[in-house]
Amino acid sequence: MTPPPPYSVVRTPTELLAMWEGLMGAGGFSVRSVWLVFFDDQFRMQPVIVPIDDLPAEPDPQLIENLVGVVRGLVDNEAASTVALLISRDGPTGMTESDRRWARAFRAAFDSAIAPWPLHLATRDQVRIFAPDDLIAA
């Protein structure tokens, strides 16, 4: 992981993808995680990056509710304005149904005011956006 300079400005989905690619680097992951990066109201990335490891294969509603509560508390206390999320996991590059279920659960739980950024997936070979079509239930 190569962190960007503190308070890097991220204004577009393309810049967010580049930020995630820089953070995730080459290689792979040994566990499924969700990563959170916070931004202030000037789109500056805050210096704390939060990985939550060992996510189960299926979305955990209680974990997601707790996570939303923590993020909402940070926003309400003006410690951050928005959050971006990335799911990482080991295994093949292709998006799995489990990845999609997690992404749909996060998208449903986080309102667009605090999580306006596209969700991303990092695997051993790449970082990619969950496109709207990826989030349509099969």
Contact 124, 29 (CB under 8 A): yes
* DSSP state, residue 134: G
Question: What length does the chain have?
Answer: 138
List the pLDDT tens digit at each of the 138 positions of the chain.
555 666 689 999 999 999 998 888 776 788 899 999 999 999 999 988 999 999 999 999 999 999 999 999 999 999 999 999 999 998 888 899 999 999 999 999 998 889 999 999 999 888 999 988 888 865
Cα 134 to Cα 97: distance, rounded to the nearest angstrom: 9
For the chain, counts of helices (H) and of strands (E): 3, 5
Kind plus residue range of the DSSP H or E element containing 76 = helix 61-76
pTM to 2 decimal places: 0.90
CATH code given to domain 13-133: 3.40.140.10
Which of 86, 5, 83 has its CA nearest to residue 39?
83
